[in-house]
Amino acid sequence: MIHSSPSTPEWLEKLRAVNPEEMAIGKVIDQKGEKNGDRVFLRMAGLEVTYRELAEKVRRVAWAFHQLGIRQGDKVAIILPNEPEYLYGWFGLCHIGAMMVPVNTALKGEGLHYILEHSDARAVIVHERFLPSLLPVFPDLKKVEHLICQRGKEDLNSPIPREAVLWEDFIQSQPTLPAIEIKGSAPGQILYTSGTTGRPKGVVIEQARSVLSGIRIASISRSTPSDTLYTALPLFHVNAQHVTTWAAIMADACVAISERFSASHYWQETRNFRVTRVSFLGSMMSILYNQPPKSDDADNPVEIAMSAGTPAAIWEKFEKRFGLRILEYYGTSEGGFLQNEIGGKVGAMGRETPLYEARIFDPNDQELPPGKVGELVFRSPTPGAKLVEYYKNPEATAEKARGGWLRSGDLAYRDEEGYFFFVDRQTDYIRRRGENISSADIERILNSHPRILESAVVPVPSELGEDEVKAFVVFRPGAALTPEELIRFCEERMASFMVPRYWEFRDSLPKTTTEKIMKDVLKKEGVSIRTWDRQKPT
């Protein structure tokens, strides 16, 4: 038996008290339905779902999949917006041991085809809104046997393929599930990474990981049955899945889900849903903070903002302006976890927890001392524990967990107190004239200018070898700066080798559905006729 010391985190005590094999998603949903009954589980615009209704609908969907011939180990892709059916589909598949393949709804063409084909999906659930993206690649999907289509409220009147089954017909039969014993170690989904360094890789996530993540997040955020946890991130994103949805479930609380993130409506949504806990990515916090201040900014019910990547420059200002506390943490789709404390060190990603050992490695896999920048890596304290699995990609799996350490791909350093600080993505680090440059450091300085709304800094090839620095800048409405003014601003605040050579002003930057700037797109643009080069005479 493992005995907890007085310093053992509450969330770890809760994790140690459960058997992961008993944490199969279908079983947990059944238990929560019985326990919580008519307690509201989900709120969306004009809609409420109780825990009892959730359990009933999940079993109905599970039986519908079983009748369709979907069995344990099969994969089903979901291309749906944020709506209850997303959760019914995911949990229903897990109930019978099948796997969800969450698909980014912005994908189309070859990118969409690759994920559907590589995942071996036998069926696809799609909202009619996304049929124009799916139908061009559908004839070439050799492994897909079933298409389940959901009509939207928008009355799009999209042409539904004759071979498709409508969702409302799909779930008509009464559930009489056979006895299927599913364990928590069964895979629950294949979550594809963004693929910025090659083809997207499918991370196999066990059912128990979703449940145990919910226990951990519910505990560190001090969530109780009286709380409402809110997300405006898409449900195909692990943050919305684990940090909000499963944290709410394991706290016996309510989850409120918006269809999409809207800076202008965000705080009113929290008031409408009586939200006490929110989940952010750092980019979302910057967008919200850059909105014009309002006298009622702090007049919202939010107490705690769970955040990954809070910009240090606005951390305390954000807390004061919106009347809340920030709980910073760090995690990746593959694994690894750091946690700050409420009221912890500003700017820090967090410290290691008993869940993972964390270190900073140099390129030769040697541990670096405090203050030195290297790759953040993780190791489970449990000998022989599996760190990661990429679907049908043993080579990438072995490289990601080389030497028994999970490679994050993020550059960071730790201080003497054991706090870790983010520097940059390895793929975004710039090498210029023998100097290593963090694009994130330049962006932080640029974004501190009162006329700049946001920026993105990327490397472009130099005629001298290595890289040159290019900055994309979006100004606040009605504001502007000349390149010369920006260069003077930078020269006063950063080393000379960091000052961008190339500049480009934009009305907006390409972004993912989670509001992350798509730097891979900007890198491919290189130097164009719109680019200002400070080394060329004007």
DSSP label at residue 293: P
Residues 379/406, Cβ–Cβ less than 8 Å: yes
Cα 271 → chain centroid: 24
Q: What is the mean pLDDT of residues 504-514?
A: 91
pTM exceeding 0.85: yes
- Looking at residue 4, what is its pLDDT? 34
**CATH-assigned architecture of domain 429-533:** 2-Layer Sandwich (3.30)
- Looking at residue 3, what is its pLDDT? 31
Separation of alpha carbons 188 and 448, rounded Å: 42
Residues 79/164, Cβ–Cβ less than 8 Å: no
50-63 pLDDT per residue, tens = 999 999 999 999 99
| 471 has a pLDDT exceeding 60 | yes
| 298 has a pLDDT exceeding 50 | yes
| 311 has a pLDDT exceeding 60 | yes
Token pair of 314 as six digits = 């606005």
350-376 pLDDT per residue, tens = 999 998 999 999 999 999 999 999 999
75-115 pLDDT per residue, tens = 999 999 999 999 999 999 999 999 999 999 988 898 899 99
Q: Which CATH class is domain 261-425?
A: alpha beta
Residue 462 — pLDDT band, cuts 50, 70, 90? Answer: confident
- Looking at residue 155, what is its pLDDT? 61
Residue 316 — pLDDT band, cuts 50, 70, 90? Answer: very high
Neighbours of 225 (CB within 10 A): 11
Domain 43-205 coded CATH 2.60.120.260:
no
Q: How confident is the prediction for the chain on average, in pLDDT?
A: 92
- Looking at residue 434, what is its pLDDT? 76
Residues 119/75, Cβ–Cβ less than 8 Å: yes
Give every CB contact of residue 462 below 8 A, 6+ residues apart in sequence.
432, 468
Separation of alpha carbons 458 and 445, rounded Å: 15
Separation of alpha carbons 130 and 519, rounded Å: 25
Look at the block and give the residue holding tokens 């390409």. Answer: 510
User: According to CATH, where is 3.30.300.30 located in the chain?
Assistant: 429-533
User: According to CATH, where is 3.40.50.12780 located in the chain?
Assistant: 43-205, 261-425
